[in-house]
Amino acid sequence: MAPAILRDSRFAARTLLKAPAFTAAVVMTMALGIGATISMFTVVDSIVLRPLPFPESTRVVMLCETNPRVPDRCIASPPNVSDWANASRTLESAGLARTESFVTHTGDGFSGVAGAIATPGFFRVLRIQPALGRLFEERDLGRGSNSVTLVSHAFWRRALHDDPAAVGKTLTLDGRAFTVIGVLPANAYIPELGVVDVWKPLTAASTTSTTVTGEGLPR
């Protein structure tokens, strides 16, 4: 068997060497095919085969309203998401969030920061527990009581200098004072939003948002 394979391999090599243009086309086609296959497998493996890196991720669903004025975007209003959570018999909780840039002022001066606004249910769905302090609660959504903020672990280390007493201190966002109520854990995974360093509560005044999540658990 081995001599036959060796003989066939030599014949194939001589044939390909006689037609270098054809050989180059074959090699390039194989390279493109292998590369595309590896890329597709990487995407499928990361999205389908491997669970998302937060607890009970297979029970999380994304809910969206449709609007012809904003196609291909997942949108919803906070009151509607609240109604979905209260009326549904299959959702234990629901929440939503969207990205929003802020200008912060710390002891190091003013700087832009990647931010987001979110409802309390958003963090409940993702099973995120704070490293320090607490997360948003319904009491933080009312007018006059929504001047609170959460910060990422990276922002806490970078801008707040790992201060264990950071909870309760004031952080200026867009010229307005906010009280830091919590620090997210270092491994917090936030689907769809990317890197977020500072969070504000999302109130009913915000009419649209992205990343609407609901946890499919029986009540």
Global model pTM greater than 0.85: no
Amino acid residing at 196: V
**Tens-digit pLDDT profile for residues 120-135:** 888 888 888 999 999 9
R_g of the chain, CA atoms, integer Å: 26
Residues in the chain with pLDDT < 50? 44-45, 205-212, 216-219
Report the alpha-carbon distance of residue 57 to residue 55 in Å, rounded: 5
Q: Which residue has the tokens 């769905």?
A: 125
The angle subtended at Cα 178 by Cα 188 and Cα 144, nearest 5°, is 115
CA 37 – CA 185 distance, rounded (Å): 36
Which pLDDT belongs to residue 194? Answer: 80
